[in-house]
């Protein structure tokens, strides 16, 4: 199994983008992995989720378990939620220079016979606050994944954030 870089935002230079959109995703890999190093400008709460949409689908169900250093929690999104909720990243009120991590796996994304399962690991620590969680869910849509949207609701990605998309192949690596 080998991983290949497909696309990247690069380091987002300014806090003016609320969404990142990958299109024309090659249909030649077995799985996809999204790696987010992010922070939002939202002042609503210390920790923020980021939403994920596959091929524009607006029907997701998801659930997660995690801890914030003080209490453990289990969450469940409403059925037919418009976005898949990824693990938390820090908001504007969190310690400066702290960014969160989201590693999202989307399995068998080209298959047109089944809904797409999503699994996310992520969180952040800010030396006295923070949260980690494991989230999973699925897109209630059997279409192949050709586009991915990552959204921070009501806010922007903070400057310094980054989103990278990778393809995971079951064939032998061809280089590097």
128-167 footprint of other proteins as x/- string (CB under 8 A): x-xxxxx-------------------------x-xxxxxx
Residues between 63 and 82 that touch other proteins (CB under 8 A): 65-72
The DSSP 8-state label assigned to residue 80 in this structure reads: T
Residue 119 binds other proteins (CB under 8 A):
no
Residue 56 binds other proteins (CB under 8 A):
no
Tokens of 123: 């969180």
Task: Report how far residue 94's alpha carbon sits from residue 96's, in angstroms, rounded to the nearest whole number.
Answer: 6
- Please state the separation of Cα 15 from the chain's center in Å: 18
CB of 120 to other proteins, least distance (A): 11
| List of long-range contacts for 60-65, beta carbons under 8 Å, 24+ apart | 60/84, 60/118, 60/137, 60/138, 60/139, 60/140, 61/137, 61/138, 61/140, 62/118, 62/135, 62/136, 62/137, 62/138, 63/135, 63/136, 63/137, 64/120, 64/133, 64/134, 64/135, 64/136, 65/133, 65/134
9-28 footprint of other proteins as x/- string (CB under 8 A): x--x----xxxxxxxxxx-x
Q: How many residues does the chain have?
A: 176
CB of 83 to other proteins, least distance (A): 15
23 vs 142, beta carbon nearer other proteins:
23
Residue 45 binds other proteins (CB under 8 A):
no
Residue 125 binds other proteins (CB under 8 A):
yes
CB of 132 to other proteins, least distance (A): 5
CB of 60 to other proteins, least distance (A): 20
121 vs 140, beta carbon nearer other proteins:
121
Quick one: 136 exposed, middle or buried, by C-beta within 10 A (0-12, 13-18, 19+)? middle
Residues that bind other proteins (CB under 8 A): 2-9, 12, 17-26, 28, 35, 37, 65-72, 95, 97-101, 103, 121-128, 130-134, 160, 162-167, 173-176
């Amino acid at each position: 199994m080998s991983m290949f870089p497909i696309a990247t935002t690069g380091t987002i230079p300014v806090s003016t983008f609320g969404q990142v959109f990958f299109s024309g995703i090659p249909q030649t890999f077995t799985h996809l992995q999204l790696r987010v190093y992010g922070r939002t400008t939202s002042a609503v709460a210390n920790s923020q989720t980021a939403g994920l949409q596959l091929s524009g689908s607006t029907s997701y169900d998801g659930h997660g378990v995690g801890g914030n250093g003080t209490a453990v929690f289990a969450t469940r999104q409403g059925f037919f939620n418009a976005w898949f909720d990824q693990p938390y990243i820090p908001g504007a009120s969190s310690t400066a220079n702290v960014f969160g991590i989201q590693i999202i796996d989307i399995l068998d994304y080209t298959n047109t016979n089944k809904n797409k399962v999503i699994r996310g690991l992520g969180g952040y620590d800010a030396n006295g606050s923070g949260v980690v969680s494991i989230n999973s869910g699925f897109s209630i849509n059997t279409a192949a994944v050709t586009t991915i949207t990552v959204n921070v609701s009501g806010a922007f990605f903070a400057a310094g954030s980054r989103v990278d998309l990778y393809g995971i192949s079951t064939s032998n690596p061809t280089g590097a």
